[in-house]
Structures are given as C-alpha cells and as structure tokens.
C-alpha cells in the first residue's frame, strides 16, 4: 500500500465550497494519476454512497469513499479546505477531506483504509499536523507513518 497516496493526490487548498466541487477536484487528481478511468462515473458512485449516509465525522473531517468499477487501484486523495465543506458532520464543516477510492472488487482494501484512517483521525495531534502541513510531501509522510505504519 506504499503507493496508496502520493504528492500528486494532495491539494492543500482544494477549490470549491460544497462537497460536489471538492470531490470533483480530488476525483480529477485521481484520473490524472491514472487511478480513475472515468471521473463522472466515479463521482456518480461516490454520490450514491453519500446518499446512504453522510461521510463527515467530528473534528472537521470528511471521508467520502466509494468502491467503483472506474477505480484501477486503491487510492487515497487528500484535500484541505480553509473555509470548510459540509459533509454532514454534527459539529460543522470539514477542513480535512480524505477521498478513498477502491476498485469495485476491493471491499477489504476500502474498509481497511477507512478503519486505519479513522483510528488516527480521532487524535487532535494528527489533525493539527495535517492542518499545519507546509507541503504535499509532508501530508504523504504523515499518512504513511501514522495511518499505514510505514
């Protein structure tokens, strides 16, 4: 899973002020990296998943995620939003957005990434370091160390 996230999949000032704009910006990064074959198809799968239950969690975090036939390999993209974006969390908008994309057949990968990420995001220290990260490489290093244990 060392190639789960890289600097090209990180946007420290993700454009947009709603979840559709933000997920499109991150989904486009996935397509540019060859991780998604059809952005619109992937985003449709993502919206379908969001309709089942919001993916915002306390602490200013959004974790939109979906399995999709348009995903070539398990991938994690990260966006930081200064104004925040509503992902349905009870405590307000998300400033830290993690987009998890998994192939349609990748249920275990999808859930293990989500679980590992959720375990780390409960720690304020980790969230603070993501908010303060100076560049994309710093985010990638944090995720590799703290989430993936690498």
In the set 65, 70, 82, 123, the catalytic residue is 65
Is residue 65 part of the annotated active site? The answer reads yes
Give a three-class secondary structure readout of the chain.
CCCCCCHHHEECCCCCCCHHHHHHHHHHHHHHCCCECCHHHHHHHHHHHHHHCCCEECCCEECCEEEECCECCCEEEEEEEEEEECCCCCCCCEEEEEEEEEECCCHHHHHHHHHHHHHHHCCHHHHHHHHHCCCHHHHHHHHHHHHCCC
Q: Which residues are catalytic?
A: 65
């Amino acid at each position: 899973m060392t190639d789960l996230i890289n600097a090209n999949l990180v946007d420290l000032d993700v454009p947009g002020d709603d979840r559709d704009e933000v997920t499109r910006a991150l989904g486009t990064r996935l397509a540019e990296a060859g991780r998604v074959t059809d952005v619109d198809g992937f985003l449709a799968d993502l919206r379908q998943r969001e309709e089942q239950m919001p993916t915002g969690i306390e602490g200013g975090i959004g974790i939109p995620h979906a399995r999709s036939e348009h995903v070539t390999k398990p991938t994690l993209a990260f966006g930081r939003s200064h104004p925040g974006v509503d992902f349905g969390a009870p405590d307000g908008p998300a400033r830290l957005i993690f987009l998890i994309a998994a192939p349609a057949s990748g249920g275990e990968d999808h859930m293990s990434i989500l679980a590992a990420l959720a375990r780390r995001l409960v720690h304020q220290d980790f969230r603070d370091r993501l908010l303060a990260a100076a560049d994309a490489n710093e985010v990638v290093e944090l995720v590799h160390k703290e989430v993936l244990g690498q």
